[in-house]
Structure 1
Amino acid sequence: MYSLLRAFAAVAVFLTVQVDAAALSTVKLDYGTFTGVTDTTTGIIYFRGIRYADAPVGALRWRAPVTPPTTKLGNVSATNFGAQCIATSQSAVTPSTSEDCLFGNVYVPINTTAKSALPILVYFHGGGFEGGSSNGFPPEHLLQPSTKPLIFVTFNYRLGQFGFLGGTPVHQHGVGNAGLLDQRAGLVWLQRYARSFGGDPRRVTIWGESAGAGSTMFHLVAQGGINGNTLFHQAMVSDSPSLSFLPYYNDAFTENLFSQFAGFVGCSGTSSAIMACLRNAPVDTLASAGSRVLANRTSSFYPFAPITDGRYLIERPVEAFRAGRFARVPVLFGSNTNEGAGWCGGLPNPAANTKSPNATETNIYNCIAGQFSTFTQESFQKAVELYPLADYANTIDLQGQQMYGEMRYICSAVMITGAAKNFGLKSFQYHWDNPNLSSNHGAELVAFFNDRTFEPEDQAVVDAMRQYFTSFVTSGSPVADNSVAWTRSANKDGSPRILLHPGNVTMEKITDALSARCAFWHGISKELKN
């Protein structure tokens, strides 16, 4: 019987790990020797595709990850990325994807030694918990602008039906939220091996965007905050922690999703028989079944997502942050102006699509209910009063955009930074607003992972943002040359926050109207199950 205790027991075990101090491009761990790529032009050593856990295949499907790997790997060329995890949208495995995908990447400044003890920044990618990978996030615009050196790390984690399948059979014969446990396993791995790469395991900041930002939030509240100051010591996002629907593992939504998936695979019978069948099924069959589930959910964005499993996620975020049951670490969270743009207007179901011809407010309700199946018409009517159509140029799509963007993303940053402040922690909030580079969900990532040339006003914002974020990692306070001082949160809504706007980087207050709308959404958290 596999368990979380079995999977993570290794974190308590101390083993001496050999390091070649003269040539950190080769690192000897107790299960393999990894040789990276030293690039004197960028000033970075790149370790790519490092296996951090056993392949989650066969009997290890829907089990907690096993880290460190149990197989001795010998000499490994860490020059190429590992396989990406299979996305829910895939109907079959592709050459670049695999079920065997638990790999990480470590990026180290070129002059680092085994005794450098550098702070570490860990990034969890977005993709709605159903897509994406750690491979598309180059380190140059983080490591090079930082006034103090740091190490940048990314991890793959299981996605969709492989990483976020719930239901009673999974609960009885495996684990829910396997993808989150993969991320945690990466943090366990890092505590064990950070010094091998010249890092300090006592100075780890976790970071993410979208689903990765949601992951950061979930690790803050997991098991009442157990991870804080053990596996990480600060948390930040870029942008928008996703305050998603978190049904229990045995709620009707979760059970129905499991049954539909298992049915498409062709598995039936008792719980143990179904799980045995799923673990023996060809991986292409599992991929096809997941994509078929997705195709049948025309009003939903990401049906496979974290759940309240009663083991790792024992409490939903709104409840946990309100009560102070979260990791007591400094936080830096924020959001973009147009977080809700493009979501409801892109759904396949015309009844839930806010850009459908003759769309009404019912389309908005259907869109939100497609993500939060317990959302009631009564609550929606109260929301309409807070978001009157006339405030949005009498445009249904814009009205729905603002509702969805605030309820799921913007108000999450408000809540987390406010809660951190209320419990005496250092807390910083930002607001990305850029009409040139876009203010939509995820638009600010251009500041960190894009090589494009910016206009002077945008370049100033990008330069400041890079320094703010990296200085938070290295010093605990976001500071940027030639920019304003970023003031800590002082109120229960995380106000003030820094406005990152071209030509106008300044501190701003959260408006009373936004506070009231956020209070409404969080006031119905039991209904929304978030």
Structure 2
Amino acid sequence: MLSPLLLALGLLASPLGVHSFTAPRKIGAKISNSVTLDYGTFNGLTNETSKVIYFRGIPFADPPVGDLRWKAAVSPPTAHLGNVDATQFANACIPTTQTGSASGFSEDCLYGNVNIPLGTKTTEKLPVMVWFYGGGFQSGSTDAAPPDFILDSTAEPMIFVSFAYRLGQFGFLGGSKLNADGLLNAGLHDQRIALGWVQKYIQNFGGDPTQVTIWGQSAGAGSVMFHVRLFHAAMGDSPPLTFTPLFNESYVEDIFDKVASSAGCDPQAADAMSCLRSVSSDVLATAGSVTIAAQTSTLYPFAPVFDQTFINMRPIEAFNSGKFAQIPLLFGSNTNDGAMWGSKIPNPIANTSMPNATLDTVYNFLQGQYFHLTRKSFDQAVAQFYPLDSANGSFSLLGQQMYGELRYICTAVMITSAGANNEAAGKAYQYRYDNPHLGSNHAADLDAFYKPNKRSANDADQALFETMRKYWSSFVTGLKPVVKKGSVSWKPIVNGTGSPRLLLNPSQIAIEDDSTLDSLIQRCNFWHSIGDQLGA
């Protein structure tokens, strides 16, 4: 078994090696909108306008229901499926906010989508981009990531693939009972199995299994940090440093108990798991939403746990020790990645937008996300790195800056800096998305890839979006983010300080001055020095 190292980008280099991009394309028959695999024939949809053939809702595993709930997904599907209509997206995985049945969602949700350029030939061996959605491991779906804009912007042809994975209590329930009779981090295992599906079947769609780049945003970028193989490059937008507790510590056991009790099962009973597998999807969905509602100071109670097998090293330790994949990296963050989160907390003593907020409120907010964070460390951070006057006296802005850097911004710095320090690794590139016009909050950068035609976007925004799509797609097709005409040369990081970093702003695309990163690096170093308290 490969050592699942990885955490934080836990990525080991693909055993398949790096493919040469100078090899000529082979000539073969053009792929139609019907592709036959060994378990079915999938009939997709051809769009003559976008020049894309869509194969949607392809099952990559048996439904993870009944006895397969909290078990490793079985891939490929065990039954021959015959002729399958692959023109529509499948049901999305059930999010934690859902109570009971809802149209468009199902526990039977392990499906993927393969999107290929019109005219792709069977033997063409195109590079492959694999996308995993974000949503805090508690929500998200593949239909929110239309491939048309990226495929239209790429200078060289490539394939865009996306996969669903189990969420919330269905994919990230922990506890000793589940460990003894089930699979911890089932959602991450779904992703690993999906990547295996790519290795086995992508050639049928004209793709090259040795040229797979994995990409995700937020929880999707965090997912990239927990995989070890099956791709040769990695990208991540706003990668989160998540609290990753031991699978059986009290914090996790308490969540298990609440889910089980809410589902009508005795969490202490010997048959607790059998009971949980016997309840309906509706009952379990409701149990998850009830559990979420009870965690009034925590944004994402359901997330990966430290299972000591799939995840056997936490991110900070992995990057500090150099134990991560030696592959090309492209990671970055948004200027205001920490905005608005503190206002979403139901508990008023941890909601930083309350008019009577204090430093206590900010601490309660951060401690709600990082269970072991001590008040002493928080006070030290404020005294040395985050004085209140730096946030214009606003406790809301202070919480925003601390959380944004701790969770997202410093994680991108850590990943790319570690990549630059590893001489055997490929090049590492870092960016900062900053858009004063449309906003630079968490996930705002996804407009460039999936919603560039929103009404509020002006010409400068559109030009920035097009450049970003070209940078990202060229990294997939050539391992270097480049725009052939009229844009800044994106330089790789040359040392362990996260520099240079590319500023992506509609008024200018430029390499940021090193001085802009100096104080940030000091703050990041502080957070990473208390990794034991962050559970990361």
TM-score normalised by structure 2 residue count: 0.92
1:100 match: 108
- The Cα offsets for residues 463-514 of structure 1, whole Å up to 9 and x where unpaired, read as 1101100000000000013110000001213211100012211111352110
2:480 match: 477
> 1:86·1:93 contact (CA, 8 Å) conserved in 2?
no
CA distance in 1, matches of 2:413, 2:30: 47
CA distance in 2, matches of 1:72, 1:93: 28
- The Cα offsets for residues 403-422 of structure 1, whole Å up to 9 and x where unpaired, read as 00000000000000001111
- Tell me which of 245, 248, 251 is aligned to 2:249: 251
CA distance in 1, matches of 2:283, 2:267: 18
Alignment of 1:247-286 (within 5 A): 247-268=245-266, 272-286=270-284
- Give 1:203 shift: 0.3
2:464 match: 461
CA distance in 1, matches of 2:150, 2:175: 40
Is it true that 1:363 corresponds to 2:369 in the alignment? no
Is it true that 1:443 corresponds to 2:447 in the alignment? no
- Tell me which of 508, 515, 522 is aligned to 1:516: 522
CA distance in 2, matches of 1:491, 1:270: 52
2:126 match: 118
CA distance in 1, matches of 2:169, 2:328: 33
2:10 match: none
What SS does the corresponding residue of 2:215 show, helix, strand or coil?
Answer: strand
- Give 1:282 shift: 1.3
1:216 match: 224
Is it true that 1:27 corresponds to 2:35 in the alignment? yes
**Letter in structure 2 aligned against 1:30:** D
CA distance in 1, matches of 2:333, 2:267: 45
- Give 1:251 shift: 1.0
> 1:65·1:182 contact (CA, 8 Å) conserved in 2?
yes
CA distance in 1, matches of 2:31, 2:525: 54
**Letter in structure 2 aligned against 1:246:** T
CA distance in 2, matches of 1:234, 1:471: 12
CA distance in 2, matches of 1:327, 1:22: 35
Is it true that 1:429 corresponds to 2:439 in the alignment? no
CA distance in 2, matches of 1:421, 1:357: 44
Is it true that 1:504 corresponds to 2:512 in the alignment? no
- Give 1:269 shift: 6.1
2:12 match: none
What SS does the corresponding residue of 1:50 show, helix, strand or coil?
Answer: strand
Alignment of 1:146-225 (within 5 A): 146-219=154-227
CA distance in 2, matches of 1:29, 1:21: 17
CA distance in 1, matches of 2:528, 2:434: 24
- Give 1:457 shift: 2.0
Gaps of 5+ in 1: 5-11, 13-19, 220-225
CA RMSD of aligned residues (A): 1.5
- Tell me which of 58, 66, 70 is aligned to 1:58: 66
270-279 or 47-56: bigger deviation: 270-279
Using CA pairs under 8 Å that are at least 6 residues apart, name the structure with larger relative contact order, 1 or 2.
Answer: 2
CA distance in 2, matches of 1:182, 1:513: 39
What SS does the corresponding residue of 2:407 show, helix, strand or coil?
Answer: helix
Query: CA 1:177/1:269 → structure 2, altered by over 3 Å: closer, same or farther?
Result: closer
CA distance in 1, matches of 2:422, 2:469: 28
- Give 1:459 shift: 2.0
CA distance in 2, matches of 1:148, 1:269: 54
What SS does the corresponding residue of 2:350 show, helix, strand or coil?
Answer: coil
- Give 1:525 shift: 0.3
Gaps of 5+ in 2: 5-14, 16-27
- The Cα offsets for residues 267-291 of structure 1, whole Å up to 9 and x where unpaired, read as 1265651111111111111011000
> 1:432·1:444 contact (CA, 8 Å) conserved in 2?
yes
Is it true that 1:527 corresponds to 2:533 in the alignment? yes
CA distance in 1, matches of 2:151, 2:349: 47
CA distance in 2, matches of 1:315, 1:67: 27
Alignment of 1:378-397 (within 5 A): 378-385=376-383, 386-397=385-396
**Letter in structure 1 aligned against 2:503:** L
CA distance in 2, matches of 1:80, 1:136: 13
CA distance in 1, matches of 2:231, 2:352: 40
- Give 1:327 shift: 1.6
Question: How many matched pairs?
Answer: 504
Alignment of 1:227-238 (within 5 A): 227=229, 231-237=230-236
